[in-house]
A and B are shown apart, each in its own frame.
Chain A
Amino acid sequence: MAYSNMLIDHYEHPRNVGGLDKDSPNVGTGLVGAPACGDVMKLQIEVGEDGTITDAKFKTFGCGSAIASSSLVTEWVKGKTLDEAKSIRNTEIAQHLSLPPVKIHCSMLAEDAIKAAVKDLQDKKAKGAAA
């Protein structure tokens, strides 16, 4: 299978590998996928005072396409509001990395990871406001 240079670059030099403090009220964590299916993504986002995403980190268990997809979205979400981040579509990820058709599910997982991280953060904020 021939992979695009963009994909290989993200695989070989992944951006923003690591973690943020999951207990911080300003950090949202999304953990999607399943080990039994061969891919798991953990995506974390941090928001600043103005509600935009200031930092993002990931860790991924999966094939090169899954690693590249998650690396890419950590770059894309930075500077975005939560709503803007949620509007990132898997098709954009797949197109940017020129994912082969059998790897489209990797981009879908990355989209799910963003949504899960945003939801976690919004749940935290709602809880914080209620308390």
Chain B
Amino acid sequence: MTKPIYLDYQATTPCDPRVVEKMLPYFTEHFGNPHSRSHVYGWDAEDAVEDARAKVASILKVSPKEIIFTSGATESNNLALKGVMGFYGKEKPHLITCVTEHKCVLDTARHLEQQGYEVTYLPVKPNGLIDLDELKAAITDKTALVSIMIANNEIGVIQPIAEIGQICRERGVFFHTDAAQAVGKIPLDMDAMNIDLLSVSGHKVYGPKGVGALYVRRKPRVRLQALINGGGQERGMRSGTLSPALCVGLGEACALAEKEMDFEGKRQKEFADLFTSMVRDELAEVVLNGDEKHRLAGSLNLSFAGVEGEGLMMGINNLAVSSGSACTSASLEPSYVLRALGVDEEMAHTSLRISFGRFTTEDEVRTAATKIIQEVKRLREMSPLWEMMQEGIDLKSIQWAEH
């Protein structure tokens, strides 16, 4: 069986072969411990790690001294939230985040609530963006940290980061952002955007899985309580021997992304536009979830009215995409992100997330659109909901037996 066309770059990306090539020597000939100070094995590994650190710093326009390597964005987000609250939380026990954040931020926030901290979860507007006035109103003199992601992992919308940063700076509150979906896709500038902490994921930028980074501002200084204690590596904020191979991989991935960002952004925008116009030419009642303008170039989240997402995915099994529908997860709840936007539950069940990436070709985009059009048409023909919609029956007027 030939493998399906991969259109799920928001879930993960393949490691770029150029990245793998740079990593390989650090598993074998340069196997040293980067923290060994007494011989050339250690020095070589340390040089590689520091070179990688500089590359991660470059894409964020910061000093390498402000970059901490971690195991991934989940750890970075945990360290940012728990670390800041742990250090400043006695005086300022309040954290502000948002209902559409990644689970690793929301779950960490819940954990902090259980520890006695106070958390405000900002709602989002129907376009998926937060209301800046609501953010301003939520900040109090007890607020230590605001954590709002740059780009959403399900719907691809981009929050007004610079404006959020400015509000936080004016109010003397630290600003952390989960940039797992944004690094390498949109230009980032920590000073211009007033970002104090930022989480990076390796495997979302064509780097390896198992590595990430946290940017921690030095001026004005942000202090963190470490989660992992030990030998005091990473300026005491994250102990444990670094993996030079993984660090080199993340560094090279960032360097490539920085170099190719403009070109890739344009290419993926063309793909998204092509796909959308092909689909809309053939199908009515296709809704783009999330803001149309403020979004990642290559990410689409579409609801196909009358067609259940998982049923659709079974029909398009030559495409690797994901669905906001319930049944993909074990729970029967549809996506909490779509629900937060106020998308009707039945429309949330009809959504597909399609994301294009560095290795997507125009042929693949055309094949995907053609297949999706064909299957949506077929499934709408056998959909009682589509039939009712065509007859002008309001689905909300029917007394459904919820099960």
Contacts and interface: CB of A to CB of B under 8 A. Distances in A.
B314 interface: yes
A17 B403 contact: no
Given A33-B401, A38-B326, A109-B403, A61 B384 contact: yes
A66 interface: yes
Interface string B340-351: 000011100100
B387 A63 contact: no
Contacts of A35: 345-346, 349, 385, 395, 400
A64 B383 contact: no
B1 to A, nearest CB: 13
Contacts of B196: none
A51 interface: no
Interface in B267-314: 306-308, 310-311, 314
Contacts of A19: 387
Contact of B311 (A31, A59, A62): A62
Nearest to A19: B387
A36 interface: yes
B345 A36 contact: yes
A34 interface: yes
Contacts of B349: 35-36, 38
A60 B308 CA distance: 9
A67 B380 CA distance: 12
A17 B381 contact: yes
Residue from A33, A41, A63 with most neighbouring chain B CB atoms (10 Å): A63
Contact of A31 (B314, B330, B384): B384
Contacts of B386: 61
Contact of B383 (A3, A37, A61, A102): A61
A105 interface: yes
Interface of A is mostly: mixed
Given A39-B308, A60-B383, A61-B384, 5 more contacts: A40-B384, A59-B383, A64-B311, A66-B311, A67-B311
Residue from B314, B395, B400, B402 with most neighbouring chain A CB atoms (10 Å): B314
Contacts of A12: 315
B334 A61 contact: no
Given A62-B308, A63-B311, A102-B330, A34 B383 contact: no
A31 B383 CA distance: 12
Interface of B: 306-308, 310-311, 314-315, 325-327, 330, 332, 334, 344-346, 349, 381-387, 395, 398, 400-403
Contacts of A102: 327, 330
Residue from B310, B330, B381 with most neighbouring chain A CB atoms (10 Å): B310
Nearest to B347: A35
B306 A61 contact: yes
A38 B332 contact: yes
Contacts of A67: 311, 382
Closest 7 CB pairs of A and B: A35-B346, A34-B400, A36-B345, A64-B314, A42-B384, A63-B310, A59-B384
A40 B385 contact: yes
A87 B204 CA distance: 52
A93 interface: no
Nearest to B332: A37
A103 B308 CA distance: 15
Interface in A39-93: 39-42, 58-64, 66-67
Given A19-B387, A31-B384, A67-B382, A36 B307 contact: no
